[in-house]
Amino acid sequence: MKELDLAVFFSVFHEMLGPVLWLLLALAVGGIALALWVFVREGSSIDSRRLVRSELMGLLGGVAALVLMAEVTVSGFTDAGGPVDWLLVGLIWGIGLAGTTILAYGIQGVFKKA
């Protein structure tokens, strides 16, 4: 494989995750749209309390991403041996953290107390 092809990545993720892939994509797109809507609605300012709560929820989202990874793959965390394996584990945790933080910020902004 000499070049990166998005169709190959999509096919691999679809094979691994099945219908969960569509749920994750919907959550990602919806979370980004919701966070942007809250950001614009509040006059391009970020509420620090809401952000800290979202970041704390993001820590749990990173753990949930790792649990999902362990469920859909054949290997577990004890099979990660080389530096690239641990880099991938860190990237998965970071993507789960960031995605959950964005989604939580958007949801909290929608349901904020007036």
Q: Which residue has the higher pLDDT, 22 or 16?
A: 22
- As for how many domains the chain has, the answer is 1
The neighbour count for residue 36, using CB atoms within 10 Å, is: 12
Domain limits for position 68:
6-110
pLDDT tens by residue, 94-111: 999 999 999 999 999 998
The pTM assigned to this predicted structure is 0.82
Tens-place pLDDT, residues 20-67: 889 999 999 999 999 999 999 888 888 889 999 999 999 999 999 999
Report pLDDT for 1: 58
Structural domain contains residue 21: yes
Rg (Cα) of the chain, in Å, rounded?
Answer: 17
In-domain check, residue 1: no
Q: Is residue 39 part of a domain?
A: yes
At position 10, the amino acid (one-letter code) is F
Question: Has residue 86 been placed in a domain?
Answer: yes
Alpha-carbon distance of 25 to 35, in angstroms, equals 15
Q: Mean pLDDT throughout 69-85? A: 78
